[in-house]
Structure 1
Amino acid sequence: MSRAPDAPTGVLAPLLLLAALSGIAPLSMDLYLPALPVVGEDLGSGQSTIQLTLTATAIGLAVGQLVAGPLSDRFGRRGPLLLGLGVYALSTLLSAFAPSVWLLLSTRTLEGMAGAAGIVIARAIVRDQYSGIEAARVFALLASVSTAAPVLAPLLGGQLLRITPWRGLFVVLCLIGVALLLACLARMPETLPPQRRAVGGLRTTVAATRELLGRRLFAGFVLAQGFGFGALFTYISSSSFTLQDGYGLSAQQFSLIFAGNGIGIMLAAQLSRTLVGRWGPRRLLVAGLSVQLAGSAVLVGAALADAGLPVVLPVLCLVVAATGWIMPNATALAMGGAASSAGTASALLGVTQFAVGGLIAPLAGLGEGGSLLPMVVVMTGSSAVGLLAATALAGRTPSPRVPEPAADPAPLVRDPAAPGPEAADAGTRATTGRPAGPPSA
């Protein structure tokens, strides 16, 4: 099994807890998606302004990752993670009592910044423990499990709206934040020992950031993931208006459709875990972006032809499901050579992802309210840029072989789908052309 150098011998944090931390972002945004029209009516704001509450969360997630990632490289993973979860719980409680849309924008931004710690540090913890194809499998596992958040969140949100006003949804998020904080206090060990931590201050962080961004491969995979997510985030922020206002669905019907598309992401991510050893993460990434682009273009044609839901929904599900191939493989490829600055690399992935999503998603709200066309046009453009980055910027440079540790201690918690040593050796021969073994000095 491919593990990172000098991996700590303590118990690896449970994969389900890491997946839950990775699910903070979709949970924060998706739980109240069915309530967006109601929030707008209650606070006296239009669709574009209410959509900014999603954008505010995304921008907060982007900025917060820039802070939490380097901090975790310097001070370890556990401390910044616990601090972020505590502030997240407090900010969601403040959102529940926001009297105006502008105060809600402020608390949602803080919520995103605090929740970013869970996302960025979960990725860094995986990189502390795994490398190579095994890291790609673990990232895919986390993606498949963490997508339970967007699958269940709209369903839960739609049902909660039957018994509580929209403000009660933020109380639920607060309770989830407290539960994650307690779980991490009890079960999350430190995975970055002091001897492997970064030294220095802001200058060191800036230097590490410049070094990472100067790598053509890293920049290409980061942009591919960012614009692939941009298409998904456009769907997340606009689909409630498109399907409810444009096609007349109820909040509960929308929740079921949204959940079905989330299940598509889960299945695609699980399939990625199975195929990555044979195809490699780069081919799966390009395939996912290609499906996303082709499906979005078909939806543009469907919108121009005024097609109904029987045509739109299956294609939309395929486009959304493609994210299950894009996100874990772009993450594994980008972080493969960033062992010495995993937190910073994870932060750059996250800030690009949510900055792109937060900036382009509101463009879909500038068109006619409830119309399908603005949403799918933005999705098509975003996926096209992502595919261009993966093929033109990163696609012409051979992926470097991820170094293997000299010693390979058996993990105390192991991905149950991971192959044994013989299968790992076969996978290495298939992807590198030579048998697995310790690197040369």
Structure 2
Amino acid sequence: MSSPSTQPFAMGGREFVAMMASLQALQALAIDAMLPALGVMSHDLGVDGSNERQLIIGIFLIASGLGSLFPGALADRFGRRPVLFVCVGGYVLFSLAAALAPTFGALLAMRACAGVLSSGMIVVSSATIRDRFSGDKMARTQSLVSVVFMIVPMAAPTLGLAVLELFGNWRWVFGIMAGLGAAVFVWAWLRLPETLHPEFRQKIDVRAIAGNMRIAFTTRSAIGYVFALALIQGALFGYINSSQQLVAEHFGAGDLFPLVFGAMAIAMAMANLTNSRIVMRFGARRVSHAAVIAYIILGATQLFFASGEDETIWQFIPIMTLNLCVMGFISANFSAIALQPFARIAGAAASLQVFLRMVIGSVLGALIGQAYDGSARPLAVALVAAGVGCLLLVMFSERGKLFRRLHGQVEQA
């Protein structure tokens, strides 16, 4: 059952999807636009370690995870809008500060601060979607959001490369980030109403917040999906962290790397679009459970080729692309299934779930990235391990029964 907003919701469905996607995409922009510039940034700031450059991405991801624990409780108390605008405004300011960073350490510090603020955009947008939708409808909406969201990974590396070529300075990449963040801020300020129902407002009380977090953490039907998605995101972040070295350098894509990365993102977007069209017919559980099995098979295939001495880019890219497509079926559905039971505490539940996913995923992603050894083997091993762990965690939440479609699921108070 959808929850009514506290203001008339004049915004149309397409605009709502586009706005939620834009809010989430600002975080993706802060990750993917950096990729073509990592080598230039690290060299310009006196850091030449081949893997150390990955910290520009890894620190942002870890900070995003840590920062996501708090915005949800605040949004449950004060509403979605105030928390959202603080987070977007902070993202803009720290992006500008990163553009002026004089040292590598200062850049990492600004990236960490921007990461903390960006987490609120993910948490609040997720809670806002839950305010309006539930069940398979929420999974469908999140899939549509992901379709638009995927445009950013598709375009961001090309944007970063274009900025480097046009301005000859990586600092302008952060300036573009700040400008786009400011545009989304104005759009949301003018068009997004408050969606938190007055009866669902929670107290700012440590015991109340802890109680809500405990409910979110101990609900078996949800928590397995949270940890499962954290493993899948960890493998994805591991790929993102090492993609420039792996695809551009090891496999020799060179300047074609942004195009390759973008094409893979297009495929992932198409998978999300397909999911939005079939999830209402088959259900989020059936679709995502089948996707997990396919993910394991693709990971094992990737490991088979990576274990050889002469793996080519024509072996790596098609399989990795299919893996990302399957991930598109997993992510939106898992997110919806995990948040479904928590209508009254959607903010707190979203905070805890994003916190667990981002912290676990970013730490795993950093470890996978740092394990890069000049081949695709560490990533392939991570894909298989993440898939098997994901399946076991889903079976925990589903009490050993896969491919069920639940109707009339009871919501937590």
What's the TM-score once normalised by structure 1's chain length? 0.87
Q: Could you tell me which residue of structure 1 aligns to residue 8 of structure 2?
A: 10
Q: Could you tell me which residue of structure 1 aligns to residue 201 of structure 2?
A: 197
Mark the CA change 1:278 to 1:194 in structure 2 (over 3 Å): closer, same or farther. closer
Mark the CA change 1:239 to 1:169 in structure 2 (over 3 Å): closer, same or farther. same
> In 2, distance between residues paired with 1:220 and 1:123?
18
Instruction: Find 1:288's aligned residue among 271, 286, 291.
Output: 291
Q: Which runs of 5+ in 2 are unaligned?
A: none
> In 2, distance between residues paired with 1:19 and 1:161?
26
Residues 69-123 of structure 1 show CA distances to partners (whole Å, capped at 9, x for unaligned) of 1110111000000011111000011111112222111111111111112111111
Residues 355-379 of structure 1 show CA distances to partners (whole Å, capped at 9, x for unaligned) of 1221112223334553222222223
1:86 aligns with 2:89: yes
Q: Could you tell me which residue of structure 2 aligns to residue 153 of structure 1?
A: 156
Q: How much does 1:143 deviate? A: 1.1
Equivalent pairs, count: 402
Q: Could you tell me which residue of structure 2 aligns to residue 43 of structure 1?
A: 45
Q: How much identity, in percent, do the aligned residues show?
A: 29
Q: Could you tell me which residue of structure 1 aligns to residue 280 of structure 2?
A: 277
Residues 6-25 of structure 1 show CA distances to partners (whole Å, capped at 9, x for unaligned) of 44451165221111112122
Mark the CA change 1:102 to 1:341 in structure 2 (over 3 Å): closer, same or farther. same
Mark the CA change 1:282 to 1:247 in structure 2 (over 3 Å): closer, same or farther. same
Q: Could you tell me which residue of structure 2 aligns to residue 32 of structure 1?
A: 34
1:180 counterpart letter in structure 2: V
> In 2, distance between residues paired with 1:368 and 1:227?
18
Question: Secondary structure in 1 aligned to 2:101?
Answer: coil
Matches within 5 A, 1:242-253: 242-251=246-255, 253=256
Mark the CA change 1:330 to 1:368 in structure 2 (over 3 Å): closer, same or farther. closer
Matches within 5 A, 1:15-164: 15-45=17-47, 46-164=49-167
1:10 counterpart letter in structure 2: P
Mark the CA change 1:395 to 1:260 in structure 2 (over 3 Å): closer, same or farther. farther
Mark the CA change 1:151 to 1:63 in structure 2 (over 3 Å): closer, same or farther. same
**2:123–2:354 CA contact under 8 A, matched in 1:** yes
1:326 counterpart letter in structure 2: I
Tell me the C-alpha RMSD between the 2 structures: 1.9
> In 1, distance between residues paired with 2:333 and 2:43?
40
Mark the CA change 1:101 to 1:8 in structure 2 (over 3 Å): closer, same or farther. same
Mark the CA change 1:311 to 1:122 in structure 2 (over 3 Å): closer, same or farther. same
**1:234–1:361 CA contact under 8 A, matched in 2:** yes
Q: Which runs of 5+ in 1 are unaligned?
A: 406-441
Residues 268-301 of structure 1 show CA distances to partners (whole Å, capped at 9, x for unaligned) of 1111111112221112212222222222221122
What's the TM-score once normalised by structure 2's chain length? 0.92
**1:302–1:311 CA contact under 8 A, matched in 2:** yes
Question: Secondary structure in 1 aligned to 2:68?
Answer: helix
Q: How much does 1:391 deviate? A: 2.4
**2:268–2:325 CA contact under 8 A, matched in 1:** yes
